[in-house]
Structure 1
Amino acid sequence: MEQVLFIVWRESVEALLVVGILYSWLRAAPEGRRGLPYLWGGVVAGLALAVALALVLLGVSSWLSDEGQEWFQAIMSLAACALVVQMIVWMKTHGRTLKSELQSGANASLADNNWWGLLILVMIAVAREGSETVVFLYGTVSAVQGADIWKLTLAGSAGFAIALLTFGLLQLGGKLITWRRFFRLTEILLLLLASALLVGGLDRLISLGVLPTLVDPVWDSSALLDDSSGLGKVLADFAGYRAYPALTSVLLWVAYWIVVWALLRRADQPRKPAPIPA
């Protein structure tokens, strides 16, 4: 349940950031206030697209056989892992210019008196965050056997409520909580969660006989830290810890962190300015 709360919280804050930037910009200019209905229309349209994706995923899953569902859930877990990494790399690359890029897009809509462009901009931004949330949640929840839908709903609602509070605190600013520190901390937690999604997907592929185990298990640390309860369960859910890991999972888990380190190091490098044409 804690994974669901965290994912909804983090993605909701990102969506609120995008909407908040555009809302503040529109409210600042008298002529911009005409675009407020289009802003909220874009929010509703983006949420509708995310809900449609969720219904498609649930529908596809219900049509599949037991083995087909195992395949589908494994693929979704791995896709969610890749999506987390892609999102963090994108934020590392564009985070510093996100506000100016959003405002330039809104400026273009204002200059052309084309508020539908603003609606599409907001719809894409909200749908992106919403679709990421849907994929993350599906990949996470599919790994939980016998998940209680009411508990999941409560966790998601709590995550959104905390996101509203977090956004308000971040908007106020301060030395303790800043946007930079918020994203830095949550990036680490998201990468850990993505590694758990990776291991969960690999476990399913191994059970399907697609991947060899090589050595199974590599070690047995259950006496020291069991992965079915207590701290071990938290580490299993948030970092992919296994008390009885297969060698294949260990090697791919290490490879994941090497790839993530290389991508983030590349994203931290300043982008070269575009060459000026002669």
Structure 2
Amino acid sequence: MTQALFILWRESAEALLVIGILHAWLRQGVDSTHKLRWLWAGVAAGTLMALAFAAALLGLFSALPEGAIEQMQLAMMLLASGLIVHMVGWMRQQGGQMKHALQQDVAQRAGPGIALLAALAIAREGTETVVFLYGLGLGQQSAGQLGLTALLAVMLAMLTYWLLQQGGRWLHWRHFFRLSETLLLLLGGALLLAAAEKMTMLGWLPTLVDELWDSSWLLDDASRAGNLLASFTGYRAHPALSPLLALLGYWGLVWAWLGRGRHAR
């Protein structure tokens, strides 16, 4: 559940950032009370859209035959891994312009347009979160476990947002995004590695070499510390060759794409 807690915390903090920017901007304008009502209506609508998407995915999983569930899980793992890389790239392209872009966009909109902007922003964060959680295989967890994890993550996100709003005295937005981007990219690689391992188990991908080395004497991935490292980085004490090549290819593509974007800026 550590992965789920991180994902929910990070996405909740980003959603709070978007809401906070829109709220602060609208409060400065004329007829702020009326526009803020539209803002909160959009936040509620976006939350409902994300919950509806989660319910639809849950219904889809429950309707699938047993043999197709593993294939669907594999597709969600690959989608989540690709979406993580895309999201990190998008955030880097936005950089410090996100606040200005949101303010400029909301300044050109009337009440319903403000609600639509907020709804789409929150729904995007919510649907990304749903895809990530299903990619992590948490669709089969109990509602109580997920609810408790979500509550803890939101509380941590609110604390993080408060710290970030203290003018950088405790925590700066740049540091928050860089740290979370790094952890997200590590998690994306771990998801891709797990997907490659699942494909070898299904017989869709040859292992090439079943066991390249044995580092369990140093750190066993079945131990608590090893399992946590494996969850976020894809560490394996007994790695097969083809999943490891998939992970190396992932980092090569990440480096090429994000490095090209940094060079362009």
- Rounded Cα–Cα distance in structure 2 between residues aligned with 1:238 and 1:9: 15
Aligned to 1:255: 249
Aligned to 1:126: 122
Q: Which amino acid aligns with 1:238?
A: F
Shift in CA distance, 147/48, structure 1 to aligned 2, threshold 3 Å: closer
Deviation at 1:223, TM superposition (A): 2.5
Q: Which amino acid aligns with 2:37?
A: P
Determine if the alignment matches structure 1 residue 223 to structure 2 residue 223: no
Shift in CA distance, 152/142, structure 1 to aligned 2, threshold 3 Å: closer
TM normalised by structure 2 equals: 0.95
Q: Which amino acid aligns with 2:90?
A: W
* Amino-acid identity (%): 48
Shift in CA distance, 75/86, structure 1 to aligned 2, threshold 3 Å: same
Aligned to 1:92: 92
Aligned to 2:71: 71
Aligned to 2:80: 80
Determine if the alignment matches structure 1 residue 179 to structure 2 residue 180: no
Aligned to 2:239: 245
Deviation at 1:32, TM superposition (A): 3.4
Secondary structure, in 3 states, of the residue corresponding to 2:165? helix
TM normalised by structure 1 equals: 0.91
Q: Is the 8 A contact 2:207 2:242 kept in 1?
A: yes
Deviation at 1:102, TM superposition (A): 0.6
Q: Which amino acid aligns with 2:156?
A: I
Deviation at 1:66, TM superposition (A): 2.0
Aligned to 1:136: 132
Q: Is the 8 A contact 2:6 2:153 kept in 1?
A: yes
- Rounded Cα–Cα distance in structure 2 between residues aligned with 1:221 and 1:262: 30
Aligned to 1:190: 184
- Rounded Cα–Cα distance in structure 1 between residues aligned with 2:142 and 2:26: 42
- Rounded Cα–Cα distance in structure 2 between residues aligned with 1:176 and 1:166: 10
- Rounded Cα–Cα distance in structure 1 between residues aligned with 2:169 and 2:112: 38
Determine if the alignment matches structure 1 residue 41 to structure 2 residue 41: yes
Deviation at 1:253, TM superposition (A): 0.2
Q: Is the 8 A contact 1:71 1:205 kept in 2?
A: no
Shift in CA distance, 188/205, structure 1 to aligned 2, threshold 3 Å: same
Deviation per CA, 1:183-204: give whole Å up to 9, x if none. 0111111111111111121121
Deviation per CA, 1:125-184: give whole Å up to 9, x if none. 1010000111111111349xx745433322221111000011011011224410001101
